[in-house]
Amino acid sequence: MVPLTRIICCMLAVLLSAVACNQHPEKPAAAIQKANKDTLVTFMQHHLRPLLIENNAKKAKQILDSLKPFVEEQHSFSSTYLWLRHMMFVHQLQRNEDSIEYYTRKALALAIENDSTRQIIAGKLELSDILNSSNKSDSALMHVKDAYFLAKQKDTAKLAGILFKLVTCYAYIGNLEQYREYCFEGLRLSEKNLHYKPLFLLCINSYYSSMHMKDSALWWYHRYIEKDTSMNNPMYKFMSTENTGLMLSYQDKDEEALKYQLQALDDCKQAEDKTSVPYYNLGVTYHKLKRYREAEESLKASIKHAHIDRLKEVATDSWNEIAKVYASQQKWEQAFTAKDSAYESYKRYVDSSFAGKAKEIETRYAVKSKDEEIRTLAFANEANRKIGVQQKTIIFIFAGAFVMAAVLGFALWRRRKLSEKLRQAELEQRLLRSQMEPHFIFNTLSVLQSYIRNNESEKAVRYLNQFARLLRVTLENSRESFVPLDEEVTALENYLSLQSMRFEGVFDYEVQAWPGYEEEGLLIPPMLLQPFAENAILHGMKQLQHKGHIAVSIQKEANVLRCIIEDNGTGLQSGSASQPGKSSLSTTITRERLEILSRQTGYAAGITITNRGNEHSGTTVILTIPYRKAKPYFTV
């Protein structure tokens, strides 16, 4: 049988396309409530919605372009949000993928700025659909999970639909445990919902089938799908027929199974949907019936349509099944040739999978860098504008008082110099935080390349996912002056885990904090701990005769955190960068950041680096970090 991710992804494509046919652009709730009060909102509701339903994107865009100056002048959340949503729908009709994502992100940012929960949920779900269609499954999953947690707190009516999107994301990623968990949670929530209930029933059945749990699949099929009246809906006809054929095949009733699979293939062709999987299952059944010619024809058709459907893994399985068909006929030379084709198909699939992951990381990094550059420029322009206004006001008021102007001018000069120095330091630190050390990235990719060459696919995927998570957290945290303590701890654990995979067997590590620290909502500056963990690995573990160990301990004291990083490495050596008077660049930057933090909070901050005692080799780094408390996200 075809693996879970393959069957589920094809099935979800069929079900989602059917659901999409019955949907139209929704009216934002806030816009509907203000329609009678806001003339601009009312105009857009009454004149643009009919044009979008009629697919008249050109006329709708002309109206929206003409309305843009009035929307900007009004500066109203409801009118601006509705204008952005309509622009998104226009570009959906025109299939401009970049513009769709642009306006969706703009609308979502506006909803977050105004703390509008329903619009935030809708925006995150729409953005996840866009990212999924661009094969950015990890990013899509992040937005769906945000929507899921928001909906559990504020809008439970949408939970069933959000859970189905979560199931979709986990199917594409291949996380079977999470996929199964959310399938059953969705089924519980949609027990009386005829729209989503059959979707979850089919997903669970396909999970059991693809995991080769035949008894569970048969029990589930006869207990639920075969008897549930909601499955009679034409929307689910193809999947229901295909599942019936699979169940009969499990019971070795291959002649009966063949009838249902042929019907399912006809239904799929009429729907003009992906046919590679139905052809594959049909070929397997023909092979079991020893109808070798029909089996070969069906499997070759599966390979042909797999390239059209962009399901390279289905092509690989079809080649493997063709090899079995030839082997059953004792055509050994043709069987070996088919096996070679299966290997080449698998190789292309793995290469494209890693290429897609690498492209997603590259795109995400480029977007983050561009956003940071825009924010830095806007900050500098705003600061210069305010300073200019201050200077003009001061000159106008004190022009007649020469002595007072001289004294005040000197004070302002000192103040401006200090402000510029602090601002420059902050911008430099943001830039340093947003950059990952090039050697680290190069070494990471080299390790990944070695896994691929050694055909260690599972290690390679796990290593790449770990690196992607670390890169995402690093880029997101680099934008903020303060981040949650639990996110900083997670980033540090990701980094140490990645390095332990790279230097396999060289060292182990542990990260400890006091119980319940995650719920306290403490904030600290990002990237304070990682540089010292990196020094411990690169310098402390160098040429070590025994297995290294890195221990990170975080304890809460009065208004500060006491963070201790210890290793059993070689310690501070003569002439090293860690000697007094020869501090490394990372240590110098950290000291400056802690000094600024101490002035901002009014609490002591500092760093101490020493060799451990005679009985223990290695280095001890102690950081004293003042913290802040996060404000609650939602208010009652």
pLDDT of residue 221: 65
Which of the four pLDDT bands, split at 50, 70 and 90, describes residue 535?
confident
- CATH 3.40.1400.10 corresponds to the domain 1-189: no
H or E segment to which residue 424 belongs: helix 402-434
Q: How far is CA 272 from CA 14, 239, 288, 538, in A?
A: 10, 14, 28, 57
Highest mean pLDDT among 71-80, 394-403, 571-580: 71-80
Q: What is the pLDDT of residue 186?
A: 80
Beta carbons of 145 and 171 less than 8 angstroms apart: no
Q: Region 513-527: what's the mean pLDDT? A: 87
Residue pair 501/463 in contact (Cβ under 8 Å)? The answer is yes
Q: Which of 19-23, 99-103, 220-224, 316-320 has the lowest mean pLDDT?
A: 19-23
pLDDT for 543: 75
- Give the pLDDT band of residue 258 (cuts 50, 70, 90): confident
pLDDT for 308: 77
What is the rounded distance in angstroms from the CA atom of residue 608 to the CA atom of residue 622? 5
Instruction: Give the alpha-carbon dihedral of 557, 559, 562, 563, to 10 degrees.
Output: 130
Q: Do 159 and 151 meet the contact criterion of CB atoms below 8 Å apart?
A: yes
pLDDT over 70 (residue 562): yes
The larger pLDDT score, comparing residue 568 to residue 585, is at 568
Tell me the DSSP string of 58-126.
HHHHHHHHHHHHHHHHHT-HHHHHHHHHHHHHHHHHHT-HHHHHHHHHHHHHHHHHTT-HHHHHHHHHH
Residue 233 has what pLDDT? 57
Domain positions in the chain are 1-189, 438-629
Q: What tokens does 237 get?
A: 């006809």
Asked whether 90 and 54 are in contact (CB, 8 A), the reply is: no
* pLDDT tens-digit series, residues 429-448: 555 555 545 656 777 788 88
Give the pLDDT confidence score for residue 223 in this predicted structure.
Answer: 66
For residues 105 and 87, the answer to whether their CB atoms sit within 8 Å is no
> SS3 for 610?
strand
Q: Please compute the mean of the pLDDT values over residues 141-149 and round it to a whole number.
A: 85
Nearest alpha carbon to residue 548 among 533, 566, 569, 576: 569
Q: Check residue 230 and give its pLDDT.
A: 58
- Measured from the Cβ of residue 595, the count of other Cβ atoms closer than 10 Å reads 13
Give residue 615's pLDDT band: very low, low, confident or very high (50, 70, 90): low
Mark 278-310 as b/e (b = at least 16 C-beta within 10 Å).
Answer: bbbbbbbbbbeeebeeebbebbebbbebbeebe
Residue 569 backbone dihedrals phi, psi, to 5 degrees: -85, -150
More confident call, 195 vs 350: 195
Tell me the two tokens of residue 291. 């109808």
* Greater model confidence, 14 or 425: 425
Q: For residue 230, what are the contacts with CB-CB under 8 A and spacing of at least 6?
A: 194, 197, 198, 201
Q: Residue 511 phi/psi, 5° resolution? A: -125, 120
CATH of domain 438-629: 3.30.565.10
Count the neighbouring beta carbons within 10 Å of the beta carbon of residue 401. Answer: 11
Hey, CA dihedral for 587, 593, 594, 596, is it positive or negative?
positive
CA atoms within 13 A on the CB side of 162: 25
Give the model's pLDDT for residue 554.
Answer: 93
Region 599-614: mean pLDDT is: 83
Beta strand ranges found along 506-574 (DSSP E): 507-513, 522-524, 548-556, 560-567
* Average per-residue pLDDT for the chain: 75
Backbone dihedral angles phi then psi of residue 556, each to the nearest 5 degrees = -95, 130
Give me the residue label for tokens 């009516």.
Answer: 157
Has residue 109 got a pLDDT over 60?
yes
Q: What is the predicted pLDDT for the residue at 366?
A: 52
- Residue-wise pLDDT for 453-479, tens only, equals 888 888 888 888 888 888 887 777 767
Specify the higher pLDDT residue, 120 or 636. 120
2 pLDDT higher than 50: no
Percent of the chain with pLDDT over 70: 73
pLDDT at site 32: 36
At 27, is the pLDDT very low, low, confident or very high (cuts 50, 70, 90)?
Answer: very low
Is pLDDT at 600 greater than 80 in this prediction?
Answer: no
In this prediction, residue 289 has a pLDDT band, given cuts at 50, 70 and 90, of confident
Q: Using one digit for the tens of pLDDT, what is the confidence trace for 50-92?
A: 888 888 888 888 888 888 888 888 778 888 888 888 888 888 8
Mean pLDDT of 496-504: 86
pLDDT in tens, 407-426: 777 778 877 776 676 666 56
Rounded CA-CA distance 404/407 in Å is 5
pLDDT at 428 over 80: no
- Say what percent of the chain tops pLDDT 90: 5
Structure tokens at 100: 């769709």
| 627 or 39: which leads in pLDDT | 627
